[in-house]
Chain A
Amino acid sequence: MSRIKSPAELEAFRKEILAQRDPDKPCITLCSGSACNATGSGKVAAALELEIEKQGVTTEVVSRRTGCHGFCEQGPIVVIYPQGICYLKVQPEDIAEIISETIKKQKIVERLLYVDPNSGERATLEEDIPFYKNQKRLVLGSNRKIDPRSLEDYLAVEGYQALTKVLFEMTPEQVVGEVKDAKLRGRGGAGFPSGLKWDFARKAPGDQKYVVVNCDEGDPGAYMDRSVMEGNPFAVLEGLMIGAYAIGANEGYIYVRQEYPLAVANLTVAIEKAEEYGLLGKDILGSGFDFTIKVHRGAGAFICGEETSLLNSLEGKAGEPNARPPFPAIRGLWTKPTNINNVETWANIPMIINKGAAFFSAIGTESSKGTKIFSLVGKVNNTGLVEVPMGASLRDIIFKIGGGVPGDKKFKAVQTGGPSGGCLPEGLLDTKVDFDELSQAGAMMGSGGMIVMDEDTCLVDIARYFLAFLSDESCGKCTPCREGIRQMLKILTNMTKGLAKEGDIDLLFELAEATKGSSMCALGKTAPNPVLSTLKHFREEYEAHINEKRCPSLSCKALIDFYIDPEKCKGCGACFRKCPAEAIEGGKKRIHVIVQDKCTKCGGCHEACPAAFDAVNILSGVPVPEATPEEARAIG
């Protein structure tokens, strides 16, 4: 293929692609995102190829390996279009049946369908699965339809229409105006209005300007940016080019986390294809607009996701933040005006241009528009990537999409916003997904991490866990963050170990305020959130840890003891066999006794004891009763 030199040529090419595609022809898509690859999508793909050949349906079906579909815990996922039949946890050995039954005979393979854990009902179509049904997949939607390495696929879903429109029908001012009117706010964490930011960069004096994609995604457990980058790199490129045109940049950088090899690979292919077709490089589509892109692999520190650190890292300097102002829009990469946005932010741009600001701003709440992708994890039935309109309630996400808390455990809290987000209790479940509402509640949107916790989770320990992460990741440049987080961590660790003192809560508050109010970058400024939000909503847990040396969730090992209730023990020996520390004294038909000195608190006995007996108790805040004397242990 030679370079496409004009919008007309592009449209002709698009028509040609669409003409070759029969929308009614069965199309088997297989999710090949990082998560599904890990659960064997590669082998399934091989089986698919083989089986299509073997069963002689080469001309009757199309198969396509796509990006992430979002329902990762159920992968590998196969969806068959045009109907949208959705098979989950597909293994290579299932393929023959899928072809012979579904493709050839239009029959459903029942055992591969989604089963609702609560009602036991099966769902045949993707759109009937509650996990998908309640989402609004404006950004992730194309992921399941296209091969991320195929420019043709991207063109088939309206790809590069927005770019053409921008280059030939809009002035840079109009583009900025459209993004402003859409009221798009940055998806990287801070939620800064993107149009405003573009405007700063556009108006900043200087001939040389840059645009940058932030794909560092350092939040542990979050992978929305990875999925977008892996699954639909062309959308990010198109968004980036539109931004570049708007602010007057001709060079772009994509900063991708080192641990995302597939994202880099797909992106690299996409860039090569775009260059080949003249959708990158000089005089794009004959518009006179030049644009080149470089991919940079990040060094992996969490702080490198912070914009000024990222730019320093791009320049080959240590990835540490700079004081702002000056903001990157005024003085960024190599001191030139630079606009940096998150992957998801960029990926929203083509849609905003194609469908218009009004379409976009009609979705969501007063202050937050469009959709937001969350990575829903923790104690929830359906984990994966979910995209919801702004304004959806946490309750809907966790219970309707996520299917609620597994087992008969009770919901306790949801943590949103990544490591420096906040934990919200049951009472705040009706909080809406909205930048301001979440902040007011003491959590934050962050980049979209969402962790559900059940009643077994100790929130003091959760705060400790996040602060330990942040303490490790503090770059150490500014005093309050470097030392303040460490001091908070010390206190929290003491609490979970039963070493806390009276007054520690006050000290925590002071440390949190000092760190929040005086740190240099948002890492330090938000690091106290896990502490402040849990102190606000779960203060009694802190008090129990300090005053009673008790962990109400029975999870802090130093504060709990395992004890076998002599009244309930039937002498079955299940715990005895399970205990790895040989801490249980037992014997046939004898009351079992835990030797406390030897117990490592692994909890094995608790799990092992048959539910019917329920003899192993977890105690906290109370002394362990005297062990039954040897001579009195015989049962019955």
Chain B
Amino acid sequence: MVNLTIDGKEVKVGKTATIYEAAKEAGVHIPVLCYAKKLLPYGACRICLVEVEQMKGRLIPSCTTPATEGMVVTTMSDEIRKVRKTVLEFLLVNHVIECPVCDKGGECDLQDLTYEYEVISNRFEGEKFDLPKDEINPLIERNMNRCVLCGKCARVCDEVVGYGSYSFINRGFETKIATAFDRGLNCEFCGQCVSMCPVGAILPRPFKFKARPWQLKEVNSVCGYCGNGCTVTLGTKDNEVQTIRFNDKTGVNDGNLCIRGRFGASYVNSDKRLTSPLIRKNGELVEASWEEALETVATGLRDAGSSTGILSGARLTNEELFLVKGLAKAVGTGNLDHSGGECYKGVTQGLQETLGLQASTATFPQVENAKAILAIRTDFYETHPVFGMVVNQAVKRNDAQLTVIGDKQGKLTRMPHARTLQHKPGLEVNILNAMCRFLLDEGLAKIDGLQGVEELKVALADYSVDAVAAAAGVDAAAIKQTARELATVENAAILLAYGLPYTANSRELGLAAANLSLLTGIAGRAGSGLYLCGEKSNSQGAIDLQILPAAGALGASGMLKAASEGKLKALYVAAEDMLVSYPDKSLVEKALEKTSFVVVQDIFLSETARKADVVLPAASFAEKSGTVTNAERRIQRLNPGIKSPGQAKSDFAIFQALLSALGATAPADEAAAFAELSAATSGYEMVSLDMVGDQGYVWGSDNLAPEMRNLVAVAGGKAIEAKYQLVVGSSLYHSGTTSLHAKGPMAVVAEPYIEFGREDAAELKVVDGDLVKIKAAGGVISAKAKVDRRLPKGVLFAPYHFGALDLNRIYHGQAAIAVEVSK
């Protein structure tokens, strides 16, 4: 600790604190422009200058100067005031003053400082900037005439996002922020730069002229998209979510968001939202009252009884999922599940059989200090971008060595000195096995206290590094080096995401990753972690609450199969557009067709909902209370910012009503539900709602100790033989099917596509935008081609979000699909 005096106050701060941070801690305000908590010290704007007794004769930038023992700091004097005022005059010389029409007005640092320092006139003159605006993309507008050159946009995009859109060009007065070749912005559109810009130079376009900041009500909630669980602060007005506000104080994401979080919430305002229950009458879905709808549903379920199947999405809150379980019980069925293809088996079986756990072992921020990181699949960035940014920071700031096991290139593989083990599709497990074998062979494995070591050794006979390297097309030395690093560095992390398009080998991947985490000592060690991250905002909650088939009952695949054979009497589907998102569309179609009573509860009239007998209009995340649990086990609260449209009700309220219609009891409200569910949920027993504060609450503590340490042999995959293989996955800009209703993501990726690598595209004479046909067992699909640099020869990629693509006609859960390509 360091002791210093700031404006007469004694302050004690940590060793790495700057003067600015120390002052902040002491409650002393120092103005800043180029400083940002999450960025490396920069010290360019010079507004934060202070006097330090030990450094007389010059002014000291408080934002970059470390606080040292005995320092005596003065943060305000005539001299300081004068210099700050002069700096402001300098900034205002060329700045185009457009406050009346600038969206930043009211929360512009330059405006506020100009006011605070009473810069009424300017002693200096100069021409005003006259640079063209960048308004090419629909999401982010750049008006460099307002720029104060703080560099935060360039820094955040490099240091945090790892994209690197911007750089300073020119010198002196000509200095400006530019994109490569001064072209319009074309990037991930995460909007971190928007959130960092202290003035109105980078603005969110969808929010233009929507409201003055002080007219907005701010409500902290949790993003409804992925398992990262980012805090989103809703800026609401006129019962609409107008924008997402910057908030780096709450939650786990440090104010960072991805395009979906920042620009993807607009679906809640959509005029396509369901506003009334619908009942199929004479073959048509017609509006009905809640009474009638609930009565119909209750009757249908009662009649079907144990022959009911319940399929829930993983975006419902814990409280709602708790009621789903209650519903299953009330109906008397064990056929319950939350994901098609059971992609979560890596957690529920893989980790369960090895570690006795069903969750990631550590928290996201710990990865910042990791020295070695293994990402299984590049798509980890696509599914969990904000966690991906943590990885970027570990690489950039902590020199972490990132290794990616991937069938294609991607954002992660392009990070500084990233090592890519690019393999033939479907062989991830083989590579993990080879790493395990290498560690055992070399005596690097930490085998103390592990069970099944000998069995594993025997089982890995076929997985020598050389054999696997040859079969997978990967460099053997790179496999060894990765394994060695993971086993020897102090902090390491293994990352694997799962979700609907990643159902292949889910259990096997979980087992193989868990084996590796045991042999390297990563599992359960503080600072290190094995992360299995669910695709959706409450994937982990669904597992924690065991939205899984009861013993002997049917899971999602089983239910669909049974239903397709006419063996189920009722299907209840909540918050999932199965027809689009589940593998094997034909099976889902048949199941819906053959089941006499189908209920769909959703916020849109989805493809699946159109096939239902009763449709119940539900509420979006922005309209709900309750909790969700993210992929690092952080329980966080949702808070309603707006009211649901029409008669739509929260899923909680719907289930409550239904339970009472079925004669069962339900908790009075979400809080009561949480109390009940925490008592009944393993790991949640000690958690009460008031423990879930601004940073949420991580159940099981930051590092979850394995219940057991059991190595389980697992067989690897086999590459398929086909000239062209299609792999499916998630696109960065979308999440599930919900984002198709959001303007932001749709503005960037509006249509399905088939992605080709350069080589294949050249050989097939396919260029961007060409309509291509993909034929495989199950049917023919067609979409526009997109040519990129990510894919090796012979591998194609398709995102799974778009119903229009009919991808699941040919995707049945395979790791890779043999396809034929034609134009």
- A-side residues, CB < 8 A to B, are 301, 303, 318, 320, 322-323, 325, 335, 471-480, 482-487, 490, 507, 510-511, 514, 516-520, 525
Contact = CB atoms under 8 A, between A and B. Distances in A.
A325 B172 contact: no
A486 to B, nearest CB: 5
Interface stretch (B82-90, B424-432, B565-573, B800-808): B82-90
Given A514-B83, A518-B83, A520-B46, A476 B168 contact: yes
B86 A480 contact: yes
A518 B49 contact: yes
Interface in B39-60: 41-47, 49, 58-59
B43 A520 contact: yes
The number of chain B residues touching the other chain, given as a range, is 35 or more
Contacts of B46: 478-480, 518-520
Given A323-B41, A486-B173, A517-B58, A479 B167 contact: no
A188 to B, nearest CB: 20
Interface stretch (B61-69, B201-209, B658-666, B685-693): B61-69
Nearest to B169: A318
Interface string B66-102: 1000000000000000110011001101000000000
Contacts of B90: 479-480, 482-484, 487
Interface in B90-127: 90-91, 93, 123-126
Given A483-B90, A483-B124, A517-B83, A478 B43 contact: yes
Given A301-B171, A486-B172, A507-B123, 6 more contacts: A318-B168, A325-B66, A474-B171, A475-B175, A477-B44, A480-B90
A471 to B, nearest CB: 6
Contacts of B44: 323, 477-479, 520
B174 interface: yes
A197 B168 CA distance: 31
B175 A477 contact: yes
Contact of B173 (A471, A516, A517): A471
The 7 A-B pairs with the shortest beta carbon distances in the complex, nearest first, are A476-B175, A323-B43, A483-B90, A323-B64, A474-B172, A514-B86, A478-B44
Contacts of B168: 318, 320, 476-477
17 contacts: A323-B43, A323-B61, A471-B172, A474-B172, A474-B173, A476-B149, A476-B173, A479-B44, A479-B46, A480-B83, A480-B86, A480-B87, A482-B90, A517-B59, A517-B83, A518-B46, A520-B46
Nearest to B154: A318
Contacts of B282: none
A323 to B, nearest CB: 3
A510 B82 CA distance: 9
A472 B171 contact: yes
A357 to B, nearest CB: 30
A551 to B, nearest CB: 24
Contact of A476 (B49, B65, B170): B170
A480 B61 CA distance: 12
Interface in B157-179: 167-168, 170-175
A479 B45 contact: yes
B87 A518 contact: yes
A331 to B, nearest CB: 11
Contact of B172 (A476, A480, A487, A510): A476
Contacts of A475: 171-172, 175
Contacts of A471: 172-173
A290 to B, nearest CB: 23
Contacts of B173: 471, 474, 476, 482-483, 486
A518 B46 CA distance: 6
Contacts of A473: 171-172
Contacts of A335: 399
Contacts of A490: 124-126
A478 B45 contact: yes
B175 A479 contact: no
A478 B42 CA distance: 10
Contacts of B123: 507
Contacts of A480: 46, 83, 86-87, 90
A518 B171 contact: no
Given A475-B172, A479-B91, A480-B90, A518 B167 contact: no
B50 to A, nearest CB: 11
A492 to B, nearest CB: 14
Task: Name which of A479, A482, A511, A519 has the most chain B CB atoms within 10 A of its CB.
Answer: A479
A42 B41 CA distance: 52
Contacts of B170: 476
Task: Name which of B49, B66, B83, B399 has the most chain A CB atoms within 10 A of its CB.
Answer: B83
Nearest to A303: B171
A251 B64 CA distance: 29
A514 B168 CA distance: 24
A519 B42 CA distance: 13
A484 B148 CA distance: 15
Interface in B370-397: none
Task: Name which of A303, A325, A525 has the most chain B CB atoms within 10 A of its CB.
Answer: A325
Task: Name which of A476, A485, A507 has the most chain B CB atoms within 10 A of its CB.
Answer: A476
Contacts of A318: 167-168
A537 B10 CA distance: 45
A324 to B, nearest CB: 8
Given A487-B124, A517-B83, A518-B83, A323 B175 contact: no
A473 B171 CA distance: 7
A485 to B, nearest CB: 8
A483 B90 CA distance: 6
Nearest to B87: A479
Contacts of A472: 171-172
Contacts of B171: 301, 303, 472-476
Contacts of B49: 517-518
A472 to B, nearest CB: 6
Task: Name which of B90, B171, B175 has the most chain A CB atoms within 10 A of its CB.
Answer: B171
Contacts of B125: 490
Contacts of B59: 517-518
A128 to B, nearest CB: 47
B174 A476 contact: yes
Interface string B503-523: 000000000000000000000
Contact of B93 (A477, A483, A507, A510): A483
B83 A479 contact: no
